[in-house]
Structure 1
């Protein structure tokens, strides 16, 4: 049995973004104005590392929904930016740890 887990075009876009990031040619300011916002986010582990949080501005999902992203391939909390396999996210406030 064969499984295709993702569209090859999605993987090519993610690779292109990482190549532009490495070359210093990625407009992170533009991404930070247009990417969906993920509030109360945290890393989660399933088949891969992903993020879980409340999304706003996602092109396919309603605002206010708790979502689990696709695989995380880049994360820079210092500038509030993360790249999953399928898209960029702006990182809002992280989720508070339990008991704090």
Structure 2
């Protein structure tokens, strides 16, 4: 399911916060092959980010990781903030990173 309103909401939310510093970004885990996933059954209607993680303090490198619900995102696709932590974004899994996938039941 593609809903660019979700991306617009995340980017607009990012405008309300100070962007992460270079030091914060350098310390953040990296997600490669990432995508935004949306669960139609989620009451908050917020997408989560998933991808192959590197540099997480608990999750082993190379693990497919589902982050917490996202609330802010860099418009240039370099970082995303979830309810739990900041992530650096590498290459997306899809050609168009602005697409949000999930069940549309």
Say which structure is richer in helix.
Answer: 1
User: Cα deviation per residue 1:18-53 (whole Å; 9 max; x = unaligned)?
Assistant: 8xx7464x5421121100000010100122310110
**Gap runs ≥5 in structure 1:** 1-17
Structure of larger gyration radius:
1
Q: What is the TM-score when the length of structure 1 is the normalising length? A: 0.67
**Gap runs ≥5 in structure 2:** 1-12, 96-105
Say which structure is richer in strand.
Answer: 2
1:45 and 2:43 aligned: no
> Is the 1:37–1:57 contact (alpha carbons within 8 Å) kept by the matching residues of 2?
yes
Structure number with higher relative contact order (C-alpha < 8 Å, ≥ 6 residues apart) = 2
Name the residue aligned to 2:26: 33
Runs of 4+ in 1 over 6 A off after TM superposition: none
